[in-house]
Amino acid sequence: MKARAKAKGATERIRVGFIGCGRIADLQCLGYLEHPRAEIVAVCDLDAARAQRRAEEWGVPKVYTDVEQLLADPDVDAVEILTPHHLHEVHAAAALEAGKHVSLQKPPTRTLEELDRLIGVAERSGRILRVFENFMYYPPHQKAKELVEEGAIGTPISVRVKTALGRLTDGWQIEPETQTWRMDPKRCGGGPATFDHGYHCFHMGRFFIPAEVDRVHAFIHWTRLADNAWIDVPALISWRYAGDPIRYGSWEVVPSFQMRIRTEYYVSDDRLEIHGTRGIIWVNCCTGKLLDEPSLVLYRDGETRAYHDLPTDWAESFRRGGLDFVGALLEGRAPPQGVDEARRTLAFALAAARSAEEGREVALSELLVSAGG
């Protein structure tokens, strides 16, 4: 696929509307509130009280409960879409058709077919469609990426991700309606762990290795939490990268539902290991803090270097992501993650789900070719 639509020239100021004002908006707003040439001018949520509360928190002048009304507002240049996954395609398409630039929360859609239709709308509109995946902006991940690209560990040959889930009663308090749609595969697009959160981890699997993922094998077990409440854990997913040298990756999700996790956010934490031909990088925290360790450690040539001064608050990744989106629109450049990258990551997640369901190894080409990619 060709690179998707880029912003048409620079502009003086970016006026943003929020579609969806739920819990993640606590963090999604940070970059827009900080950037000197951006402002949040409108919010929209079906819950009028929630929308009004956000407007008061952020000093926003316009409050809507109807998406079409916000999209008809000429004062809105771009939108941040934070709605449930089954609404992503319709909301993003409507925004693009209304002439708005779009930042769309991951995963972009439930299927590749939905995403391809949305990409078509974006191309016709000439507006930016950015899929926001905050892990790529998390400072320890960014530093790890920098070290890999500098050759600090030689050629990267393996990425391993480990996710620990803790007591569900700890951390952020999430509204019951949000938990309900995330545990509904039809609305979520998959499981809350391996599809919703999993998009982050699959993207990390691609972030550090300069080769496409070729084949995936997954074990995903569905655990019953309550009546009509299931979660897709434990899970163990492995994959192979295309080309030479031979490279593999893996992701394990462990449900420790009686374990307390120190966190201000979701009750989980993710650790990364990037193994190269000359060394290893460990990223030791993300949404939580399990151990009192430096956030990033580099091993090479018999020596260990610890990075103690990197920002580690998960919120920082959202702040940086918001700033980058505004900067891209102001400068007339395409921001990461573009739709080509987002499409590959979505195919990766869907291949893992198919592998677990069918009990076999799945090639990403099966999904990409069938979807026209």
Encode pLDDT of 268-315 as tens digits: 999 999 999 999 999 999 999 998 999 999 999 999 999 999 999 999
Q: What is the pLDDT of residue 264?
A: 93
Q: What is the pLDDT of residue 174?
A: 80
Q: Taking residues 106-125, report their average pLDDT.
A: 97
Asked whether the beta carbons of 42 and 60 are under 8 A apart, the reply is: yes
CA angle 166/316/106 to nearest 5° reads 70
Q: What is the pLDDT of residue 275?
A: 98
3-state secondary structure of 239: strand
Q: Which tokens sit at 18?
A: 């929020």
Q: Which residues have a Cβ under 8 Å from the Cβ of 180 and sit 6 or more positions away?
A: none
Pairwise pLDDT comparison (83 vs 173), residue with the higher score: 83
Right CATH for 139-313 from 2.40.110.10, 3.90.1150.10, 3.30.360.10, 3.40.50.150: 3.30.360.10
Single-letter code of the amino acid located at 184:
D
Q: What is the pLDDT of residue 218?
A: 98
Q: What is the pLDDT of residue 92?
A: 98
DSSP designation for 335: P
Q: Taking residues 43-58, report their average pLDDT.
A: 97
Pairing of strands 62-64, 38-44: parallel
**For residue 197, pLDDT beyond 80:** yes
φ, ψ at 140 (rounded to 5°)? -65, -35
Q: Please give the CATH number for the structural domain made up of 14-133+318-337.
A: 3.40.50.720
Asked whether the beta carbons of 121 and 93 are under 8 A apart, the reply is: yes
Element (H, E) at 296: strand 296-300
**For residue 8, pLDDT beyond 50:** no
| Domain range annotation of the chain | 14-133+318-337, 139-313
DSSP designation for 288: B
φ, ψ at 172 (rounded to 5°)? -55, 140
Cα 92 from Cα 90, distance rounded (Å): 6
Instruction: Give me the helices (H) in the chain, please.
Output: 25-28, 30-34, 48-58, 67-71, 88-97, 112-125, 139-150, 176-182, 185-188, 198-207, 315-331, 339-358, 364-370
**For residue 369, pLDDT beyond 90:** no
The separation between CA 125 and the C-alpha centre of its own chain, rounded to angstroms, equals 24
223 forms bridges with which residues in the sheet?
231
Indicate the average pLDDT of the chain: 94
Cα 344 from Cα 202, distance rounded (Å): 10
Q: What is the pLDDT of residue 359?
A: 98
Pairing of strands 248-255, 279-283: unpaired
**For residue 135, pLDDT beyond 60:** yes
